[in-house]
Amino acid sequence: TRDALRTEGTERTVDGPTASALRAMWARFFRTLARCAYDRASTVVSLCEASRRRQIADGAPAERTLVVPNGIDFEGFHARVRGTPFPTADHRPVRVGFVGRLVPIKDIVTLIRACSLALRVVDVDVRIFGPTDEDPPYARRCRRLVEKLGLERVIRFEEARPADRISPEIDILVLTS
């Protein structure tokens, strides 16, 4: 097999064994970087126990690891939304929310494109909550895509705010990263 390798607008091909060797080299490189970071870190924080176990397997000292869930207070959330009807075609649009930084790793571009597709079958009201100052060119790219797709009436960018103020305003929380 042959894999394409793209560099600065040019295209070169790499044979399968070379591509496989390159992937293995990059994996070793990133594992080495992780071990270096783990050695110097006072605390290694994971979002869940499975990630913590993976970090320990990759060399993080178990005694310096900690799980801090990236989550929602489920009991509080259920108390707020219990009995709230989910919107249907004869009600308001489905309220979709994204909460996070507007940076490439969060892949807001995919969310915007997905919402464009969703509009073919359901009305949506999309709100993207989060700071835009970490990667201004990416934030501009996202805003331009919304304009290009004609979604200004559907997708709004809003400042970050506490989760307990956002959750009652959305039906579906999306995480595209």
**Closest alpha carbon to 72 in 177, 169, 166, 176:** 166
Confidence at residue 2, expressed as pLDDT on a 0 to 100 scale: 46
Spatial neighbors of 76 by CB under 8 A, at least 6 apart, are 164
| pLDDT bracket for residue 34 (50, 70, 90) | confident
Quote the mean pLDDT of the chain: 85
The model scores a pTM over 0.75: no
**Closest alpha carbon to 157 in 117, 118, 116, 99:** 99
Confidence at residue 42, expressed as pLDDT on a 0 to 100 scale: 93
Phi, psi of 99 (to 5 degrees): -125, 115
Residue range 35-55, pLDDT digits in tens: 899 999 999 998 889 999 999
Residue range 155-170, pLDDT digits in tens: 999 998 887 788 888 8
Confidence at residue 69, expressed as pLDDT on a 0 to 100 scale: 82
Confidence at residue 1, expressed as pLDDT on a 0 to 100 scale: 43
Residue range 72-96, pLDDT digits in tens: 666 666 666 565 555 555 578 999 9
| pLDDT bracket for residue 141 (50, 70, 90) | very high
